[in-house]
Structure 1
């Protein structure tokens, strides 16, 4: 066979041009394939899934659709406690001291008679228990409402004194509360530190009958103690409860007269300097409110 060298010059030139053109086409096609696989316009590389929704952004896949995630458009209350009623009872009242006669009135708590209310305790620097309880309860109310709960307060600094302990219990009963919490801080001696939760004992006497709430109240107390400890970093009381953070009493009208699950929380000892430093710190009080909220949420969503 003959080769291209025997062809006329114009035929040889046309053959050369065809070879060059074919090389350009092949090279161009190869470049297009590489460009496409590498992800044009910053798109995903080969083997990576493309966004399934055009609204996804650099905040993360599904950023505007992930509940509570970065880029979330849902700023409304979460519905974890929707339909639940929580009663918060801030212990004492900042104005009780101005109404000594009224708060000294005796009321029936079932197995005894006790004063309507007391003034509560205070730190050595004068920070009142009643001021502490109102502050933390208001913080907890906000957090619980964000979870969708209906929150009822027994008082919000809007009463001249009290209410009396029997009325505090009745407020929770009338609200048909799913959980009720009475908030306090202790007034023990220096060196006595830590929080404890007071559970209702079984009392069936006069207007008091705690038989139906002893069990669920203990569950509420256990969850509250666990979350309060975890969030605040506080230790369980070293002087009440044998290190468990739990105590049971039958002499508190707010528990004796309750018909709904209810506990008391003593957040710390206001008379101990180290505990007082926490109780007077706004950041710690916010942690306390969060611990309370998480404990109540754990109980109501168990």
Structure 2
């Protein structure tokens, strides 16, 4: 009889333990089964701090370095006609260069690397259309497709202009509303303008340079319907012409690594503002 009572009490204790779970009892210091200390809950302040430090976490940004350093060795390939949405045009071009031989392709790749690093530090996933890891290209239609397939939250194509001497300043190219052939920019026109305006403001604040004095009416914005990289994009996208390589004063800025870092910082600021507003 005593043995039966003891067994009944033991069974009842086991049921209580099972109901409470193995972690409900245990040592007085709160350690979990196996001697593992309890996990500390993240404090609201640490969570807020993490969000502030990585405001672009969960976002994808396409960075498109205009042209390719190897394009000049592959003129036949880059002259091949491809779909630009509303028409056909060359796969790509060699881009421009300063009078001292600093190429647009070298400039855009350098700025793209700086921009990538700044955005990655803020938590973004950055997709490059190329990293000089291919002999030429990609073609303009593929550049758009890479951003589309990545479902980028924002896409930025980095360039430098080749206008006449005496023309100075940056400008941001926005997609026009087109619906023809393979192009239908209607859904991205508004978001792309918001992205472009944000980048233009960030660029000016970071670099101290003025909007272009030869295009855009002093706004730093220009709308075009002839660029395949914009026409074929299904995600918000802009081109940033950081300055004019054919003007000696602009060329001196574009060739300066410290200024290029400011340019990348301005673009990153604009992208962050657009994606977190």
Shorter-normalised TM range: 0.7 to 0.9
- On the 8 A contact 1:85/1:150 being kept in 2, the answer is yes
Q: What whole-Å deviation, never above 9, does each CA across 1:270-302 have from its counterpart, x for those lacking one?
A: 000100010000000000010010000000001
1:145 and 2:120 aligned: yes
- On the 8 A contact 1:213/1:259 being kept in 2, the answer is yes
Q: Which residue of 83, 86, 103 maps to 2:78? A: 103
Secondary structure at the residue paired with 1:296? helix
Q: Which residue of 231, 239, 245 maps to 2:220? A: 245
- Could you tell me how far 1:111 is from its partner in structure 2? 1.1
Q: What whole-Å deviation, never above 9, does each CA across 1:230-282 have from its counterpart, x for those lacking one?
A: 00001000000000000000000000000000000000000001000100000
Q: Which residue of 81, 89, 100 maps to 2:56? A: 81
- Could you tell me how far 1:78 is from its partner in structure 2? 2.6
Correspondence 1:50-89 to 2 at 5 A: 78-89=53-64
- Could you tell me how far 1:184 is from its partner in structure 2? 0.3
- Select the structure that is richer in helix: 2
Of the two, which has the highest radius of gyration?
1
- Could you tell me how far 1:110 is from its partner in structure 2? 1.7
Secondary structure at the residue paired with 2:119? helix
1:298 and 2:277 aligned: no
| Structure with larger RCO (C-alpha < 8 A, sep 6+) | 2
Q: What whole-Å deviation, never above 9, does each CA across 1:67-99 have from its counterpart, x for those lacking one?
A: 8xxxx9x8x993200100000000000000000
Q: Which residue of 2 aligns with 1:232?
A: 207
- On the 8 A contact 1:202/1:210 being kept in 2, the answer is yes
- On the 8 A contact 1:197/1:265 being kept in 2, the answer is yes
Secondary structure at the residue paired with 1:212? helix
Q: Which residue of 205, 221, 232 maps to 1:257? A: 232
Secondary structure at the residue paired with 2:202? helix
Q: Which residue of 1 aligns with 2:174?
A: 199
User: Aligned equivalents of 1:106 and 1:171: distance in 2?
Assistant: 19
User: Aligned equivalents of 2:275 and 2:61: distance in 1?
Assistant: 10
1:289 and 2:264 aligned: yes
Correspondence 1:31-50 to 2 at 5 A: none
Q: What whole-Å deviation, never above 9, does each CA across 1:166-191 have from its counterpart, x for those lacking one?
A: 00000000000000000100001111
User: Aligned equivalents of 1:244 and 1:292: distance in 2?
Assistant: 16
Q: Which residue of 121, 133, 157 maps to 2:108? A: 133
TM-score for the superposition, normalised by structure 1: 0.75
1:190 and 2:165 aligned: yes
Q: Which residue of 2 aligns with 1:210?
A: 185
The CA RMSD over aligned residues, in Å, is 1.5
Point out where structure 1 has 5 or more consecutive residues left out of the alignment.
1-65
Q: 1:296 to 1:97 in 2, by over 3 A?
A: same
TM-score for the superposition, normalised by structure 2: 0.81
User: Aligned equivalents of 2:188 and 2:260: distance in 1?
Assistant: 28
User: Aligned equivalents of 2:250 and 2:200: distance in 1?
Assistant: 17
Q: Which residue of 89, 98, 123 maps to 1:123? A: 98
Stretches of 4+ aligned residues off by more than 3 angstroms: none
